[in-house]
Amino acid sequence: MRFIITGPPASGKGSVAPFITKEYNILHISTGQMFREEIKKGTALGLELKKILDQGHLVSDELTDEMVRQRLNQDDCKNGFLLDGFPRNINQAKYLDAYLEEKGLKLDFAIALVADKDIIIKRLIGRRVCQTCGKNYNIYFTQPKKEGVCDLCNTKLVKRSDDTLEIAEARLQIYNEETAPILKYYEEKGILLKVDGNLKESYDTFLQIKEKVNAKWLLLSQKEK
Ligand code: ADP
Ligand code: ZN
């Protein structure tokens, strides 16, 4: 299966992703994560990227498209993938389609999480991340057992540098202007699955996704017969 998952910042893409990749035995590819890894390495490119991410802006299509292309070319993507954070605008969506078409492949589903603005803002400014194991917490919704420390590995939790109120609002605006139009793009292709992103438990979000994917899959396979 080949999926993309989209939604406003903090709509829960990153938390629901592991359930999806396990269910369909596919790889999770997060462009935001890839950028943050490059920043952590402290390369020249990383420094450039940090400036962009800290302002809540989007990285250029050229750079992002190329990074995704190289990643998808690797053997471990053969079984399918869940692209998280890409495409983020119509041009990237078209780039992905062209890339897949060239390989004789196509995208199966575009999952779109839909969430309310007030929930998104709280999730963003309250988000705390474990830099060792990657687990996310939230000071409003899902606190760790011991304040400021990861339950799983005891590491000190940190706030992402782009998770401030000002940046959160900028990212949300960019989402509405640049990313939201891809929903229509995928709807017209008949592969859009809209899912409620307001739920508290990522597992419940996953169950909704699974149900919709399997129902649509069945419908499509019947049509083909
Ligand atoms: P969130 O899920 O919280 O919105 P991500 O981790 O997906 O954040 O992305 C963090 C940042 O990385 C974005 O704000 C943007 O600057 C950059 N980024 C990630 N994916 C893309 C993309 N496909 N195109 C351009 N910039 C991107
Ligand atoms: Zn941890």
Cis peptide before 87 (omega within 30 of 0): yes
CA–CA separation, 40 vs 51, rounded Å?
A: 13
Helix axes 61-72, 31-41, angle to 10 degrees: 100
Question: Which ligand 1 atom sits closest to the C-alpha of 49?
Answer: 16
pTM: 0.88
Q: Sign of dihedral through CA atoms 223, 84, 81, 17? A: negative
Pocket test for ligand 1, best of 5, 11, 58 (most atoms within 8 A of CB): 58
Alpha helices in the chain (DSSP H): 13-24, 31-41, 44-54, 61-72, 90-102, 117-126, 165-174, 181-188, 202-224
- Ligand 1 mutation pick, 34, 40, 53, 65, max ligand atoms within 8 A of CB: 53
What Cα–Cα distance (Å) separates residue 50 from each residue in 40, 100, 163?
Answer: 9, 30, 13
What CA–CA distance (Å, rounded) separates 116 from 83?
Answer: 23
Each residue's pLDDT, cut to its tens digit, for the chain (225 residues) gives 999 999 998 898 988 999 999 999 999 999 999 999 999 999 999 999 999 998 888 999 999 999 999 999 999 999 999 999 999 999 999 999 999 999 999 999 999 999 999 999 999 999 999 999 989 899 999 899 999 999 999 999 999 888 889 988 998 999 999 999 999 999 999 999 999 999 989 999 999 999 999 998 888 888 876
Rounded distance from Cα 42 to ligand 2 centre (Å): 22
| 64 touches ligand 1 (CB under 6 Å) | yes
Strands 136-138, 81-84: parallel, antiparallel or unpaired by DSSP?
A: unpaired
Distance from C-alpha of 209 to C-alpha of 7, rounded to nearest angstrom: 13
